[in-house]
Chains A and B, each alone.
Chain A
């Protein structure tokens, strides 16, 4: 269960814009093993979706990906041909998108869409594909699966559509599952159901899961490891327990203080807020991306900030080794 599924070192995504080059993802490194969940958390525009698209080789044409190492199950995907990527995508690596309303094709039945990746990658046998689709629909908790197979996406509620998306991603028994905000568009009760399903399936099937979200509650409950992303960089990474107990980066701590926590934040109390705005990542950017908003900023923050490590496997990109209270 300890096999490395995804090993990424120095991933960068640059996007050519009219104003110059936008460095959407800057030198990001992480590893995900079998049965492990890595959560990438950050606010809008921090580059978390670009990271997920880069992993799936689904970046827009204007974007360029580079990485020192990009290995999936020991295979170097940085140099792989488009054909090889097509073989893997939807097969051994699958993705669940945020909007179950738009990610499904409204013109095809649920059954057709479920069977498509299986017929493409695994076997030509339609009966077998149908069999597998029915099994998976049952597994994701959809009753009367045979009837659902003939329905169109608009006949399903948002929660059911997201279940269909999950079943579709699992059709070819993937090793790596990338879920980009899988529960954001859903109600709280449905969100809990979908995340629980995802966590159960991941444990059962031993999938490596990369979960991208902005919701710290989801992160705390789902993640084994957490990476906090800000301005295209990972500013802190560590186990969920350690990171929530002792955040080392000022941004991580700021984020945690922003949310009202029932039982801990007194009702009506002033919440912590992070002043200022995210810097523009167009053109050359040097130093810590958070320094303009950080209360502990110093002159050295304008230079390249090294990653620091703690003995418990937490790492953070800050000049401070200990955060003042």
Chain B
């Protein structure tokens, strides 16, 4: 397998404030993220709200420019690719199917829009292709001329997926694609995504806060905390043996439908850190139950969890045994 999409030292900061009396402040939404996504993989990205998941997704899509660092698609920096070229290969599916579809257009024309933008075929051919894709998503050709307003949330998400796939992209970046849906509809959409992955040989970046869903669909998982990846491992490995204390707390908070187990104690405390003023050293140390003296001052690097392990973790509990794969300190 080869690296299809790669992020290198990806950073995005936003400047906030700057009112009359307020000084400008800098928010590092994504702070030095390295990711490698191989062809055919499903990379799950998990983390609490505000950890930079969505900003990362937008940078992978080329919708937000990084402050520094690069995203490469099959070896080419995406900034060197034309907008249309990139859009044909990397497509998004967003969380809210109520706001991501134009309410005034028919669903056939919504799905045909990428083809139109790319100048593929005639109008009639595009419509045929769009209807084919809608049928593949489980919508009927009869519905082709309805508007999104007439559809349910699950059907709208199917339209959004059809639009993403109509140009046969290599990578689909799904940002919380099932969060707005009921569980029975969520199951339908997850089944569809898994089928499509096999059928079209797709690579997914799958962002979600629902860990059970990520465990189900992803092959690799990256855990983010305050703009950084704190642990990355294969799904089976990460869920069997979470290494970073934050990952452990996240997994412990998952409420599986098993009666009688009660509500777990997360041990995380109440202090969610201020992203504008992140803690020194390891940004997780104020909430960490296993913190060491150096955690408050020395920032750990993302490095292999053990010699030869494929899993990476940034935590002082796992001393660096070989050269770090993380961002080198300046």
Known: A189-B250, A221-B263, A262-B215. A274 touches B184 (CB 8 A): yes
Contact with A along B196-226 (1 / 0, CB 8 A): 0000000000000111110111000000000
A189-B48, A259-B186 are known; give 20 further A-B pairs, CB within 8 A.
Answer: A44-B182, A187-B48, A188-B48, A188-B254, A189-B249, A190-B48, A192-B253, A192-B264, A192-B266, A199-B262, A220-B258, A223-B259, A240-B260, A244-B258, A255-B183, A258-B186, A267-B216, A268-B217, A272-B187, A273-B187
Q: Which residues does chain A contribute within 8 Å of B150, judged by CB atoms?
A: none
What CA separation (Å) do A180 and B258 show in the bound complex? 21
A76 to chain B, nearest CB (A): 34
**Residue of A with least CB distance to B212:** A260
B16 to chain A, nearest CB (A): 15
Interface residues on A, range: 35 or more
CB within 8 Å: A-B pair count: 133
* 22 CB-based A-B contacts, threshold 8 Å: A143-B270, A188-B210, A188-B250, A189-B249, A189-B268, A190-B48, A191-B255, A195-B255, A214-B182, A214-B183, A217-B255, A220-B257, A240-B259, A244-B258, A258-B184, A259-B257, A260-B212, A260-B216, A271-B191, A273-B184, A273-B188, A273-B191
Q: Which residues of A pack against B, CB within 8 Å?
A: 43-44, 141-143, 157, 159-160, 187-193, 195-196, 199, 214-223, 240-241, 244, 254-263, 265, 267-274, 277
Contact with A along B236-262 (1 / 0, CB 8 A): 100100000000011011111111111
B247 to chain A, nearest CB (A): 11
**Residue of B with least CB distance to A260:** B216
**Cβ contact of B263, chosen from A159, A192, A256, A270, cutoff 8 A:** A192
What CA separation (Å) do A241 and B259 show in the bound complex? 6
Q: Which residues does chain B contribute within 8 Å of A141, judged by CB atoms?
A: 270
B289 to chain A, nearest CB (A): 13
**Residue of A with least CB distance to B47:** A187
What CA separation (Å) do A262 and B212 show in the bound complex? 6
A292 to chain B, nearest CB (A): 14
Q: Which residues does chain B contribute within 8 Å of A259, judged by CB atoms?
A: 183, 186-187, 212, 257
- Do A217 and B257 have beta carbons less than 8 Å apart? yes
What CA separation (Å) do A143 and B235 show in the bound complex? 37
- Do B216 and A189 have beta carbons less than 8 Å apart? no
- Do A217 and B236 have beta carbons less than 8 Å apart? no
Residue with the greatest number of chain A CB neighbours at <10 A, chosen from B213, B257, B258, B270 = B257
- Do B256 and A262 have beta carbons less than 8 Å apart? yes
